[in-house]
Chain A
Amino acid sequence: MSHDEMHTSSTEEKLVRMANQIGTFFMSKPHDEGVAGTAEHINKFWEPRMRRQFFEIVDAGGEGLLPIVMEATAKIRRPNEHMTRAQAAEADVSG
């Protein structure tokens, strides 16, 4: 990515960058701990739709993702299917 151009990142680009930033921090740890730390961080702080988009990138080959992030994907929780409209409506009524 050139920094000398006006540039607006897409959400996918941001997710790759954020995941790599997390992975980079954990690269200073012993390898296994670093992989586990990366996965735990994403599990703890990334909302399911971010993880869903993240897995779309991963499943498409994980272009741009650091090896530590790719390795961590085994421990990152895939989000459950999103609530259906009916469920949302039910929650809304009972809420």
Chain B
Amino acid sequence: MDLVREIDFGTPASTSEKQVTLTVDGKTITVPEGTSIMRASMEAGVEIPKLCATDMVDAFGSCRVCLVEIDGRGGTPASCTTPVGEGMVVHTQTDRLNAIRRGVMELYVSDHPSAWNETPGTGASEFDKVAAEIGLTENRYGTEGRNHVAPGNGSLTIDYMVRDESNPYFTYDPAQCIVCSRCVRACEEVQGTFALTIEGRGFESRVSAGMHQSFLESECVSCGACVQACPTDALREKTVLEKGLPERSVVTTCAYCGVGCSFKAEVKGDEVVRMMPYKGGKANHGHSCVKGRFAYGYATHEDRILKPMLREKITDPWREVSWEEAIAYTASEFRRIQYQYGRGAVGGITSSRCTNEETYLVQKMVRQGFLNNNVDTCARVCHSPTGYGLGQTFGTSAGTQDFDSVEHTDVVVVIGANPVSAHPVFASRLKKRLRQGAKLIVIDPRRTEMVRSPHIEAAHHLPLKPGTNVAMLTALAHVIVTEGLFNEAFIRERCDWAEFQDWASFVALPENSPETVGGYAGVNPEEIRGAARLYARGGNGAIYYGLGVTEHSQGSTAVIAIANLAMATGNIGRPGVGVNPLRGQNNVQGSCDMGSFPHELPGYRHISGDAVRDIYESLWGVKLDNEPGLRIPNMLDAAVDGSFKGIYIQGEDILQSDPDTKHVSAGLAAMECVVVHDLFLNETARYAHVFLPGSTFLEKDGTFTNAERRMNLVRKVLEPKATYADWEATQLLARAIGLDWNYTHPSEILDEIAATTPSFAGVSFAKLEEMGSVQWPCNEKAPAGTPIMHIDGFVRGKGKFIRTEYVATDEKTGPRFPLLLTTGRILSQYNVGAQTRRTHNVMWHDEDRLEIHPHDAENRGLRDGDWVRLASRAGETTLRALITERVAPGVVYTTFHHPDTQANVITTDFSDWATNCPEYKVTAVQVSPSNGPSDWQEEYEELSRKSRRIEGRLEAAE
């Protein structure tokens, strides 16, 4: 296998429909109008040397290497900034051009380490290649005089800057820099952070991070776009500097968030040297964030458990055993438990981090092997309300658009989501569109990075009180209906008019007016009205939302309210509009699609349907239970009550990620066989009797489905460190409980999914290899997949308007718990942090902090950085305060990336009325000064240490 090389066309593609034909070095080529000569040449197979141009950013025209001659025109224009013209005759190789290029390169090289022969390049540098191609042989300028390269031979060298090693993943060596500003433009145009600039002028021009700071101290978010853009070794991955250039690469899909970026995993020997964003990836188009690009070190972290382990009691130390023994023990335990306590006493949890194929197998094992429907997935605790809400209104449980759609959006509404932190690569595309002039409305209790950042400012920020989403969304609808801003033609054609009228009469009630709602939600009514008018009449309106919508007692109602708004304004069924849930984990969409919910078979078909069960019963040769199974919180309730005794958990850490930790631990403690199948001894494993070592995304084949319903291939880069990929381990277990499974490759599992699920009928590994990726539904009607849904009508037929009455959560503030806690994420960490905490990403975020408004802090005598006690009616914990005006008075906020924070000791057992999705986003709390970790935290720490003991090994120092 070789390195996957992608062509750099030098400048971005033109979207013009008008075609222009020209000749380059005798070759005729037709390209869209507005294409640069550089790009057209490359398309004709003629590569023009270049330094400051790359197709990820706009042309800049500074390096003077890409010059060409054009018949009938004087001079030597830069090919990157000169657009093609009809009938143009271009020459890229003439004596004159070669002489100019050599002259230019000689000047560059005269102030570059290559002239000093000090450090041989890494071989990754385009600069060295261009110098070689041009045939540069001499340096007439010598090494005397001012330069940026040498630390100086005893003389004062004001031009020399030492290498910046502050970022854990890449270095900046100013000596190598040719000030082409590709990094600055990548940071600006691709990433949208504007952390880099060129300071000084003339000879003093330097690339500078932040306010002349080190990269780590600056506002740089370490997305890697600058490193990717750099044509020299000035910005270079530390792994490449340490290990040398990779030898082969495999295109695969990132296993972090729901954006689902495509990467080239570049490997040397059996080690990943770097992850390079893949330009052919349709979710990310060659961009990345700090997690996907750099934070893969967990895959080889020493904490990874590579051998199966058993213990009879959770107070025993772990004992390493063979796969055979672990599997046989598990199978016999599950058999015993079912015999002793009944068929419904066991279940499984599928993982949103594992592949579709692995997820499918876990639910299949539960249904075919355990003969019940006790299977659930972590989407229960994040986007299950999306499934319910969009299913009810539109007829299918998925986002309506592809990410490219944002390029056609005029008004973006972001509700309860912070894409800059949680979906960074999509956020970059969103910000790019906003800089082009699209308007932004943010509905969020916090003033997130989305509200105001360089060159972006929300037209309206509605900083509502946590828990008032439904009231706010209904107030927006109130304005749209009462001010006549709805799209009657769309509604009459696509929706049920009578249902609309009923809904309209409901939202028009005075109690839903911005004036009333604004009063208790803490938002200026005029802002609500302004936002509603803008969304309804500002052109293409698109709603993006996250867990700030779903994780509430009215999460499903809020999703319905969002769908109502989109239907009422006709913002559905074309590019630039739609309802877009931003999914937390890489394969949340896929795990939901694959039948992970206890009431649904793959493709969202209810288990009570005879026809659907028939399909699987005839294929699997068993009689399926027609009753819905237990959801995760119900499993835990049943465990506490004594009727649920065994669970197989693949790639989830419910003890850390699920709310009301004390209840989760009580449920787990009551079970007789807890099987954790994971990379690490996670928090849940404290209560496990069997540990099966998992495989990372680098170690297996399969597919992930991202937030835009896009199925991307996950390709095996390395052999599984623990012998078996997760699908193989599940198969071993299934065979041990008596199922005759004989899958030899995940493609066979996908074939079974396609054969049994209409929305996936046209999907196969072969098709994904051929097309790169496919968005479901993919079947006879849509053989190439479906980028945008509901184009000619809704999946369910007519769009359904549903009343969304606001019901305040039972979780209310009072004298003892006067503040509202809401929770969220940060860019550098991912979910419960099991992966990112085991990488250098901790340099950006090594502890969870409690954000609190200065007024609330002052009332309590708190200073920034003080330890505080955070208590709710469910429990208490301690962490350090961060005083900030990002949160409103009365609201506090924290992340949940670190297990010792125990944020979920605080969260309650309240949940969404329709799906039991926990109400993470609203907890009444009190904050008071503290001296340090709570008794619970210290006790927990001690128990954690004990529970991780492995016989024959020294205790791991976590």
Instruction: Give the B-binding residues of A (Cβ under 8 A).
Output: 1, 3-9, 11, 14, 17-18, 21-22, 24-25, 27-29, 41, 44-50, 79, 82-83, 85, 87-89, 91-95
A-B residue pairs in contact (CB < 8 Å), sample of 9: A8-B874, A18-B916, A22-B914, A24-B805, A47-B629, A82-B344, A83-B344, A85-B340, A95-B738
Q: How far is the CB of A13 from the nearest CB of chain B, in Å?
A: 10
Given A21-B913, A22-B914, A95-B622: A88 touches B814 (CB 8 Å cut-off): no
* Chain B residue with the shortest CB-CB distance to A20: B913
Bound together, the chains give a CA A39 to CA B338 distance in angstroms of: 30
Among the listed A14, A44, A95, which residue makes an inter-chain contact with B606, where contact means beta carbons less than 8 Å apart? A44
Which residues of chain B from 550 to 597 have a CB within 8 Å of any chain A CB? 553, 556-557
Ranked nearest first, the 8 interchain pairs of A and B with the lowest CB-CB distance are A21-B913, A28-B805, A4-B816, A28-B803, A88-B343, A11-B637, A47-B630, A4-B814
Bound together, the chains give a CA A14 to CA B339 distance in angstroms of: 29
Given A22-B914, A82-B344: A47 touches B873 (CB 8 Å cut-off): no
Q: How far is the CB of A15 from the nearest CB of chain B, in Å?
A: 9
Residue contact B335 to A8, C-beta cutoff 8 Å: no
Q: For the complex, is B76 an interface residue (Cβ under 8 Å from A)?
A: no
Residue contact A44 to B608, C-beta cutoff 8 Å: yes
Residues of chain A within 8 A (CB-CB) of B663 are 8
Which residues of chain B from 209 to 257 have a CB within 8 Å of any chain A CB? none
Given A45-B599, A83-B343, A92-B338: A7 touches B873 (CB 8 Å cut-off): yes
How many of chain B's residues touch chain A, expressed as a range?
35 or more
* Chain B residue with the shortest CB-CB distance to A25: B913
Stretch at the interface among B99-107, B452-460, B638-646, B790-798: B638-646
* Chain B residue with the shortest CB-CB distance to A27: B805
Which residues of chain B from 771 to 830 have a CB within 8 Å of any chain A CB? 803-805, 807, 810-812, 814-817
Which residues of chain B from 596 to 613 have a CB within 8 Å of any chain A CB? 598-599, 606, 608
Q: How far is the CB of B669 from the nearest CB of chain A, in Å?
A: 14
Bound together, the chains give a CA A5 to CA B814 distance in angstroms of: 11
Residues of chain B within 8 A (CB-CB) of A9 are 909
Residues of chain B within 8 A (CB-CB) of A6 are 873-875
How many A-B residue pairs have C-beta atoms within 8 angstroms? Tell me: 113
Bound together, the chains give a CA A27 to CA B875 distance in angstroms of: 33
Residue contact A49 to B643, C-beta cutoff 8 Å: yes
Among the listed B368, B804, B814, which residue makes an inter-chain contact with A3, where contact means beta carbons less than 8 Å apart? B814
* Chain A residue with the shortest CB-CB distance to B371: A91
Q: How far is the CB of B604 from the nearest CB of chain A, in Å?
A: 12
Residue contact B342 to A85, C-beta cutoff 8 Å: yes
Q: How far is the CB of A55 from the nearest CB of chain B, in Å?
A: 14
Bound together, the chains give a CA A9 to CA B908 distance in angstroms of: 10
Among the listed A5, A29, A87, A92, which residue makes an inter-chain contact with B335, where contact means beta carbons less than 8 Å apart? A92
Residue contact B873 to A4, C-beta cutoff 8 Å: yes
Q: How far is the CB of A8 from the nearest CB of chain B, in Å?
A: 7
Bound together, the chains give a CA A67 to CA B194 distance in angstroms of: 58
Q: For the complex, is B433 an interface residue (Cβ under 8 Å from A)?
A: no
* Chain B residue with the shortest CB-CB distance to A1: B810
Q: For the complex, is B506 an interface residue (Cβ under 8 Å from A)?
A: yes
Residue contact A47 to B598, C-beta cutoff 8 Å: yes
Residue contact B371 to A41, C-beta cutoff 8 Å: no
Residues of chain B within 8 A (CB-CB) of A14 are 637, 909
Bound together, the chains give a CA A82 to CA B344 distance in angstroms of: 9
Residue contact B815 to A4, C-beta cutoff 8 Å: yes
Q: A24-B807, A89-B339 are in contact. List 15 more A-B contacts (CB 8 A).
A: A6-B873, A8-B662, A18-B916, A25-B557, A25-B807, A27-B805, A28-B506, A28-B805, A45-B599, A47-B344, A49-B643, A79-B627, A85-B340, A93-B738, A95-B739
Q: How far is the CB of B475 from the nearest CB of chain A, in Å?
A: 16
Q: For the complex, is B139 an interface residue (Cβ under 8 Å from A)?
A: no
* Chain B residue with the shortest CB-CB distance to A29: B803
* Binary contact track B844-877/A, C-beta < 8 Å → 1, others 0: 0000000000000000000000000000011100
* Chain A residue with the shortest CB-CB distance to B913: A21
Residues of chain A within 8 A (CB-CB) of B369 are 95
Q: For the complex, is B198 an interface residue (Cβ under 8 Å from A)?
A: no
Residues of chain A within 8 A (CB-CB) of B873 are 3-7
Residue contact B627 to A48, C-beta cutoff 8 Å: yes
Bound together, the chains give a CA A6 to CA B804 distance in angstroms of: 31
Residues of chain A within 8 A (CB-CB) of B807 are 21, 24-25
Q: How far is the CB of A6 from the nearest CB of chain B, in Å?
A: 6
Residues of chain A within 8 A (CB-CB) of B598 are 47
Residue contact A85 to B339, C-beta cutoff 8 Å: yes
Q: For the complex, is B737 an interface residue (Cβ under 8 Å from A)?
A: yes
Residue contact A18 to B913, C-beta cutoff 8 Å: yes
Among the listed B339, B629, B641, B643, which residue makes an inter-chain contact with A92, where contact means beta carbons less than 8 Å apart? B339
Bound together, the chains give a CA A83 to CA B343 distance in angstroms of: 7
* Binary contact track B618-658/A, C-beta < 8 Å → 1, others 0: 00001000011111001001101101000000000000000
Residues of chain B within 8 A (CB-CB) of A29 are 803
Q: For the complex, is B495 an interface residue (Cβ under 8 Å from A)?
A: no
Q: For the complex, is B924 an interface residue (Cβ under 8 Å from A)?
A: yes
* Chain B residue with the shortest CB-CB distance to A95: B738
Bound together, the chains give a CA A21 to CA B811 distance in angstroms of: 13
Which residues of chain B from 366 to 397 have a CB within 8 Å of any chain A CB? 368-371, 373-374
Bound together, the chains give a CA A50 to CA B643 distance in angstroms of: 11
Bound together, the chains give a CA A28 to CA B805 distance in angstroms of: 6
Residues of chain A within 8 A (CB-CB) of B914 are 22, 25, 41, 45
Bound together, the chains give a CA A27 to CA B553 distance in angstroms of: 16
Residues of chain A within 8 A (CB-CB) of B338 are 88, 92
Residues of chain A within 8 A (CB-CB) of B640 are 11
Q: How far is the CB of A72 from the nearest CB of chain B, in Å?
A: 14
Q: How far is the CB of B28 from the nearest CB of chain A, in Å?
A: 64
Bound together, the chains give a CA A83 to CA B346 distance in angstroms of: 14
Residue contact B641 to A11, C-beta cutoff 8 Å: yes
Among the listed A3, A21, A89, which residue makes an inter-chain contact with B812, where contact means beta carbons less than 8 Å apart? A3
* Chain A residue with the shortest CB-CB distance to B627: A48
Q: How far is the CB of B819 from the nearest CB of chain A, in Å?
A: 13
Among the listed A3, A21, A46, A91, which residue makes an inter-chain contact with B343, where contact means beta carbons less than 8 Å apart? A91
Q: How far is the CB of B909 from the nearest CB of chain A, in Å?
A: 6
Bound together, the chains give a CA A58 to CA B599 distance in angstroms of: 24
Q: How far is the CB of B519 from the nearest CB of chain A, in Å?
A: 21
Given A6-B874, A11-B640, A85-B339: A95 touches B371 (CB 8 Å cut-off): yes
Of residues B340, B344, B608, which shows the largest number of chain A Cβ atoms within 10 Å of its Cβ?
A: B344
Residues of chain A within 8 A (CB-CB) of B662 are 8
Bound together, the chains give a CA A44 to CA B608 distance in angstroms of: 8
Which residues of chain B from 162 to 208 have a CB within 8 Å of any chain A CB? none
Bound together, the chains give a CA A82 to CA B625 distance in angstroms of: 12
Bound together, the chains give a CA A22 to CA B807 distance in angstroms of: 11
Among the listed A3, A28, A87, A89, which residue makes an inter-chain contact with B811, where contact means beta carbons less than 8 Å apart? A3
Among the listed B339, B374, B631, B874, which residue makes an inter-chain contact with A88, where contact means beta carbons less than 8 Å apart? B339
Given A18-B913, A95-B368: A3 touches B810 (CB 8 Å cut-off): yes
Q: How far is the CB of B359 from the nearest CB of chain A, in Å?
A: 20
Bound together, the chains give a CA A23 to CA B797 distance in angstroms of: 27
Residues of chain A within 8 A (CB-CB) of B815 are 4
Bound together, the chains give a CA A1 to CA B810 distance in angstroms of: 10
* Chain A residue with the shortest CB-CB distance to B336: A92
Bound together, the chains give a CA A41 to CA B606 distance in angstroms of: 12
Q: How far is the CB of A47 from the nearest CB of chain B, in Å?
A: 5
Residue contact B627 to A47, C-beta cutoff 8 Å: yes
Residues of chain B within 8 A (CB-CB) of A44 are 599, 606, 608, 628
Residues of chain A within 8 A (CB-CB) of B804 are 28
Bound together, the chains give a CA A54 to CA B343 distance in angstroms of: 20
Residues of chain B within 8 A (CB-CB) of A85 are 339-340, 342
Q: How far is the CB of B776 from the nearest CB of chain A, in Å?
A: 23
Q: How far is the CB of A31 from the nearest CB of chain B, in Å?
A: 13
Residues of chain B within 8 A (CB-CB) of A3 are 810-812, 814, 817, 873, 924
* Chain A residue with the shortest CB-CB distance to B875: A6
* Binary contact track B259-287/A, C-beta < 8 Å → 1, others 0: 00000000000000000000000000000
Q: How far is the CB of A60 from the nearest CB of chain B, in Å?
A: 17
